[in-house]
Each structure stands twice: as C-alpha cells, then as structure tokens.
Amino acid sequence: MAEYRQLHHADELNEAAKLADRVFRDHEQVSMGQAFPLVFSPGLGQSFGAFEDGKLVAFIGLVPWLVNAGGARLKVYALGAVCTDPDYRGKGYAGTILDMVKEHIRKAGASLLLVSGDRGLYTRNHCYHYGSFNRYTFLPENGEAIAAQNTAYSVREFASSDWYTLHELAESRPVRYEQGLSELAQLIHSQAVASIYKQEHRTLIAEKDGKPVAFAVLSIPVRYQTSAASQAAEWAGDASAVAAIFADAMKRYSLEKLDIAVPWQEAELRQALLDTPFQAGRNNGTVFISDPQLLLEQLTPYWNGAIDTQRGELRVTAGEDGQFTLHLGPDAIALTPQELVSVVFDAEPKLAEQPSVEIQERLAALFPIPFPYANGLNFV
C-alpha cells in the first residue's frame, strides 16, 4: 500500500532531488536540488511524495508565489519536477498526488496552480493553456537596427554592487512575481530554466546619463553548445533600454538568436520590437483555477473600483455538471472550465457560443488579466 504525504525533512527532500536527477538530468547538468532549491526546501515543505515500503517512488514539486497583477496580489502555486521511479511507473501515483496538491492549495488560499507541463495528466484535471504572448526571434540584424536607434543607452554587465538597483527596477513592474532582494539573487543564481538547456545566466544593465534604467537576465550557452536558443528570462525597466540590452547581448555574446516571450500587456516593449519577427503564442505550461470566486476577489484591486465583487457584481457559481456560470451584474454566461480560463487570460477568448454584445463588452472591460511569463526566474 502506497503512502502519500508532504515532505518536510531534509533527508526526504534530498532523496527527491536524487530521483528528479535520475529522471531529468545528465552528467553535464547541475542537480535539480541546486537549480530548484525552493522545490526541495524543508523550510517551505510544500512538495509531495509517494512511498512504497519506505522508498520514495514518485514526487511532485510545489512552490508558493505571490503574483502582482496591476495592483492585485494573487496567491499562486507553481507545480513542477514531477517524476516517478522508472520501476514504479503506471501505478497512478502522480494522479493521486495531484489530487492532494489541489486540495492543499485550496486550503492555503491559492486561486491558481501553474503547471510546467501539458500532458494528459494535467489536461484531464482541468489544467489548460493560457495567455496571449508574442514570441520573438531576435536576430543579429534586429540587434544592429535597434542599437543604431538607441545610442543614448550604454550597456554593461551586472556587478555585485547592483542588487539594490536590480531589485528597485524589478519592483517597478506593475505585473510581476513578487521577489525579495535576496530571493531575486537566489533565483538568478539558481538558473532554473537555463540549467534545463545546459545554459547559464548573464545579467546586463542599461544606463542612460549614468543612471541604471533597465536590466535583463539572459540564458545563453557558455560551457556547452546546445541546439536550444538563447532566451530572455527576465527584464525590467524602460522598454527601449530593455531592447538595447537585447541588441547588446547579440554582439557581446555572439548569439545567433534570442527568444523573447512578451505578454500582451507589455505594449511598449512590443513597440520597441516592432520590426522583430514573432509568432503568436501562449504562456508557458498550463493553469488550473483552483477557486474561481476567490480569484475574482483577489483580482478586485486590479479593477480599481470598476467592479465590486463583495456586492455580487461579479461572481462565479459552479454547477453539479462541473460547468460554471459567470455573473456580470444582471447578465450571466455559462462557461466550461476551459472557457473560463480563456476568458480570464486570453486576449481573444475561445468560446463555443458567441455571447451577446452586452456581455462581450462587459467581459472586454474586465479581461484578460495581465500576468507575467511563467517560464522566467520563478519557473518550477
């Protein structure tokens, strides 16, 4: 009989990191425990495991975050590092643990679960693709053009005296994961996503008239040459200065291309990258809305008085068939779980039936909500 529980002790979490290493890592990659320290943190103690005869055979990593969405603070969990010992696969451990995770995050008061993957285990449990992003492929010629247009900026590499500067710039973003100064340093050092692709972080700062105005953290090949493209992991500050950093990086690190995922709400950066080729895409992974009504309540500050969830002007009710009804004042619209995710996060929601013009206008006034890139420094 399998035993399922949260892992709170260092020895158990070390075993979990070793299991994850056997499943996900090779000799050229750092340990999962080093790349994802909060997943395997006994201090947080959020991750779950399954045991057979005292042996850890399956694991799901879980980390709580706070996401600032235009003044609203959303309580969000991120799920990743999901693995099962190869000798114990096919026994349903991950599905059972996922049910426990969903119950846990509800008790914790989280409204969202961000999932790093999109396989059947997650889609069966109402985790759906979400968000509206432009995915840019930044090429050397794009860098040359932007560098010629942005001569007012000078770009340099990060120095150890820059942490206050980086944190102040990061905090200036209206849509962001909340990151304390030391937490930001740890996340940059851990190189979570970069380690997957055998890359490393490099942090650049743009200055104008001697004052730092932007930074960007880039994931680039250093020790190993891989087929994976370099990526922009995180950035903050003046959009033109951020673009100037991307341009500088192409030449500084001899990059062939740089992948940049920009959410719909970053209109100024999209404008700065106007001549850069892109494809429309989604956020990373999938999302599960653990408590729709709680999500609306947590979002109330974002709407800045335009709606009063406490007076029932905007609320969600769940039916016995698993469907939802979104109430917008005197109007209402029936939604499947996937349609609810699309309404909340997508610039062009995908609905089976077109709602009335009045409901479309009310939805457009409230949604989509702004949300940061889930594949950045806070990726799990």
pLDDT at 304: 82
User: What's the pLDDT at 227?
Assistant: 85
Task: Report all structural domains of the chain as residue ranges with CATH numbers, in order of start.
Answer: 3-110 (3.40.630.30), 133-281 (3.40.630.30), 291-366 (no CATH)
pTM of the model: 0.96
54 pLDDT exceeds 70? yes
Average pLDDT of the chain? Answer: 97
Spell 102-136 as b/e; 16+ CB within 10 A means b: bebbeeeebbbbbbbeeeeebeebbbbbbbbbbeb
- Residue 311's pLDDT band (boundaries 50, 70, 90)? low
**pLDDT given at position 316:** 96
User: In which band, very low, low, confident or very high, does the pLDDT at 321 lie, cut at 50, 70 and 90?
Assistant: confident
Cα angle 121-127-131, degrees, rounded to a multiple of 5: 140
Helix/strand/coil for 117: coil
Cα 183 to Cα 188: distance, rounded to the nearest angstrom: 9
Residue with tokens 């850890």: 56
Identify the bridge partners of residue 50 per DSSP, sorted by sequence position. 4, 58
User: Does residue 368 have a cis bond before it (omega within 30 degrees)?
Assistant: yes
- Tokens for 115, please give them: 């999932």
